[in-house]
Amino acid sequence: MRSAEFVLALLIAVAALVTIARRLGIAYPIFLVIGGLLLGLVPGLPRPDIKPDLIFLLVLPPILYTTAFFTPLRSLRANLGNISSLAIGLIIATAGAAAVVAHALIGGITWPVALALGAIVAPSDSIAAAAIVARLAVPRRIVTLLEGNTPLIPAPALAKRIRPGLELYLKFEGLNPTGSFKDRGMTVAVSRAKAAGARVVLCASTGNTSASAAAYAARGGLRCAVVIPDGQIALGKLAQAMVHGARVLAVRGNFDRALELVRELGDEGAAVVVNSINPDRIEGQKTIAYEIVRQLGGRVPDVHALPVGNAGNITATWKGYSERSAKEGGGVPRMMGFQAEGAAPIVRGARVMEPKTLATAIKIGNPASWQGANDARDRSKGLIDMVSDDEIVAAYRALADLEGVFVEPASAAGVAGLLKIGPTGALGEAKVAVCTLTGHGLKDPERAVQVSPKVETVNDDLAELRKALLQ
Ligand code: F0G
């Protein structure tokens, strides 16, 4: 074979291997190595005269790429925006280096062909290099507590109760650093606020947003002010905001009023508002969709159920799924949001002036992302329904009893919803369902104690203890 034909064959092989590798989600250098070894077996192919420094140049890109493979994509994506000029520089540099290697290795090819070969190899490798640079830069630039990567727990016992044959998974967001899903968005919102020179972040909250904002502000060296509805947030959340040094103000009014006031303060420019009306929060929170599909080995769930309060989470989760599908294919789940019966403005189609529910996290009568929730429901052919407090508590206890997972009451609304609609046939042919469990049970220990059997006290006497235990 002449050199030109050899190069052409090599180009086609590389393109094919890269395509296959991308489809399978495998680092393509592995394919290149396998392909190279196979090519080596073909008799009569020109044998390049490999010098040690060239070997170094040749192995460098796969090493870079493989290292990048272990870089969490989240931080790569968050950083690439800031280092795009660096990335372009790296593409040019890597293309040049690869061209030199190709020219030296494959005798007789012309420089344009060598450059073309280099250009094929370069983009991925330079992104890999950029990722490494980004990774080195992460601790300084991004305010993070290493949120995300929460477990996706199979829940066969609950699944059976919802609909036989259903595969149910619980995305336990209560295992984020501050115990709720808010951390995914807060890392982006606080990092960007800090980068823009803000000194104070501000939020209205039913508790979890304030806990998260307080922690990330502390970590980022910013001040944090939180406005909560007086007497209506769970003890654990209040404790978090306080211990992280936030300025906590309780307004005599509900969450909706607190958010209105915070918005006005934000408009005055005194502080950056880190509620989910801040688009950075949505960008961070959408990562959950990518993570779930990865954890399911590339499968997209048929149904995704979650509680709905201010509706930022359903908006973000849907954004994640739809953007992922537009890029990588595979479809989207039906989004199923559940509000508490006494706080169900979206279901009722009108603002609720005095929302009521024991699930204080979603005690919201005028969701800021109302439109986002409607879009998620309509575009995904899903639904937004409501569950009673009794159904929420039943799901809360079932999660703890049947699956060993302790969540706060609002977090059980998604499961309560599936338990409610499962028997009605509303799940259709769905095979795989995912529920976001938004917050940890320890956030609201008072509720746990209240719905559980009382602790008995006995004397320090073995016989009495034995009798009581074996009763
Ligand atoms: N579950 C929990 C545990 C929450 O804290 C929230 C919202 C939701 C569900 C609902 O999510 O608002 O995006 O629809 N908590 C906000 C807060 C309002 O201030 O902590 P959403």
Give the Å distance between the CA of 181 and the centre of ligand 1.
8
Mutation probe of ligand 1 site: the residue of 283, 438, 442, 447 with most atoms within 8 A of C-beta: 438
Contacts from 351-356 at CB under 8 Å and sequence distance 24+? Answer: 351/256, 354/254, 355/254, 355/255, 355/256
Write down the CATH number for the domain with range 182-280: 3.40.50.1100
Find out whether the beta carbon of 288 lies less than 6 Å from any atom of ligand 1: no
Q: What residue owns the CA closest to ligand 1's atom 4?
A: 361
Q: What residue owns the CA closest to ligand 1's atom 19?
A: 205
Q: Could you read off the pLDDT of 296-314 as tens digits, one per residue?
A: 999 999 999 999 999 999 9
Distance CA 108, CA 125 (A): 25
Give the Å distance between the CA of 361 and the centre of ligand 1.
5
Q: What pLDDT does residue 211 have?
A: 98
Q: What pLDDT does residue 83 have?
A: 45
Give the Å distance between the CA of 322 and the centre of ligand 1.
21
Q: Could you read off the pLDDT of 6-56 as tens digits, one per residue?
A: 666 666 666 666 666 555 555 555 555 565 666 666 666 655 555 544 555
- Among 372, 364, 296, 303, residue whose Cα is nearest residue 333: 303
Q: What pLDDT does residue 72 have?
A: 46
Residues (pLDDT < 50) of the chain are 1, 52-53, 66-85, 139
DSSP 301: P
Give the Å distance between the CA of 364 and the centre of ligand 1.
9
Give the Å distance between the CA of 207 and the centre of ligand 1.
8
> Tokens 């949505």 — which residue?
282
Amino acid at 232: Q
For residue 79, how far is the Cα from the chain centroid? 16
Q: What pLDDT does residue 228 have?
A: 97
Domain with CATH 3.40.50.1100 in the chain: 152-177+282-451, 182-280
Q: What pLDDT does residue 371 have?
A: 98
Amino acid at 214: A
Q: What pLDDT does residue 281 have?
A: 98
Q: What pLDDT does residue 387 have?
A: 98
Give the Å distance between the CA of 263 and the centre of ligand 1.
17
Find out whether the beta carbon of 333 lies less than 6 Å from any atom of ligand 1: no
DSSP 453: P
Question: Element (H or E) spanning 403, and its range?
Answer: helix 389-403
Distance CA 419, CA 397 (A): 13
Check: CATH 3.40.50.1100 for 152-177+282-451? yes
